[in-house]
Amino acid sequence: MILIDRVTKSYSKDTTPALDKLSLHIAAKEFVVVVGSSGAGKSTLLKLITREEKPTSGKIVVGGVDYRDLRDKEIPLLRRTIGVVFQDFKLLPNRTAFENVAFALEIVGLSNREISSNVPKVMKLVGLEDKIDHFPNQLSGGERQRVAIARAVVRQPKILIADEPTGNLDPKHAWDIISILEKINKYGTTVMLTTHNQEIVKKLNRRVVTIDHGTVIKDRSEEAGS
């Protein structure tokens, strides 16, 4: 599903590479936790997967698409297969929860009928079917993050990237979000979670990939022999 093969990313010739010959393989339907201190290279890795950045060298293949063959006009289609959830929600404040989720379908040209059918289903998935008419400022932080997740998965992406999705939440709401991500993974979506929360890392009991100075220094599933 995701193949990163000896990828290096340098932002300038005079600085240490953000990624240095990093290799990583994530299988379809897998749930992987990526950890590392600030500046380790996690954000750069995610930007390369979503094609916000291009590697300096190395090979990236996502969902069978070799990024070396990817043309600029094909990038929007690629991004429809990748949902992204951020720490800071990025919701539109003047739109209701329903409208925030619907917006992801509007921009790819779905009809009002399709939107009216799909949005309530995904709102139920994240447990917010009773909050569809609420605006972001009427929702708690955990509820806003659930709207953001609904928006990310409403187009049924093959991959969901959750970048520090619990960073602004208290422990209870953090675990609510993790439970939803596990549910989405159970339905067949590949999930890639980055987090600084060691309690989540320990209790999740999932494959953990540790990045430091732009390279993978530990892969827990490999150590376990899987």
Q: pLDDT tens, 54-87?
A: 999 999 999 999 999 999 999 988 988 999 998 8
CATH number for the domain harbouring residue 226: 3.40.50.300
Residue 30 has pLDDT above 50, yes or no: yes
* Cβ contacts of 216 within 8 Å, gap of 6 or more: 22, 23, 24, 209, 210
Residue 51 has pLDDT above 90, yes or no: yes
Residue 223 has pLDDT above 60, yes or no: no
Is the residue at 71 inside a domain?
A: yes
Per DSSP, helices labelled H in 50-162 are 75-79, 97-106, 112-125, 141-153
Domain shared by 74 and 173, yes or no: yes
Domain shared by 46 and 12, yes or no: yes
Domain shared by 9 and 104, yes or no: no
Q: Provide the pLDDT for residue 226.
A: 43
Q: Which of 211, 221, 218, 219 is nearest to 43 (CA)?
A: 211
Domain shared by 120 and 224, yes or no: no
Q: Which helix (H) or strand (E) holds 31?
A: strand 31-35
Last residue of a domain, one of 156, 182, 205: 156
Least confident of 22-36, 180-194, 197-211: 197-211
Last residue of a domain, one of 113, 129, 156: 156
Q: Which helix (H) or strand (E) holds 217?
A: strand 215-219
Q: How many domains does the chain have?
A: 2
- pTM of the shown model: 0.91
Domain range spanning residue 163?
1-81+158-226
Question: Two tokens at 97?
Answer: 């929860």
Amino acid (one-letter) located at 134: H
Domain shared by 34 and 122, yes or no: no
Q: In this prediction, what percent of the chain has a pLDDT beyond 70?
A: 98
Last residue of a domain, one of 106, 136, 156: 156
Q: Give the N- to C-terminal CA distance of the chain in Å, as an integer.
A: 17
58-69 exposure pattern, b = at least 16 Cβ within 10 A, e = fewer: bebbbeeeebee
Average pLDDT over every residue of 120-131: 95
Is the residue at 68 inside a domain?
A: yes
Rounded Cα gap, residues 124 and 3, in angstroms: 33
Map tokens 């094909």 to a residue. Answer: 74
How many other CB atoms are there within 10 angstroms of residue 188's CB atom?
A: 10
Q: Do 17 and 194 form a contact (C-beta atoms < 8 A)?
A: no
Domain shared by 172 and 150, yes or no: no
Q: Is 211 helix (H, G, I), strand (E, B) or coil?
A: strand
Residue 108 has pLDDT above 90, yes or no: no
* Cβ contacts of 113 within 8 Å, gap of 6 or more: none
Is the residue at 86 inside a domain?
A: no
- pLDDT, one tens digit per residue, over 130-164 is 999 999 999 999 999 999 999 999 999 999 999 99
Is the residue at 87 inside a domain?
A: no
Q: How many CA atoms does the CB half-sphere of 4 hold within 13 Å?
A: 25
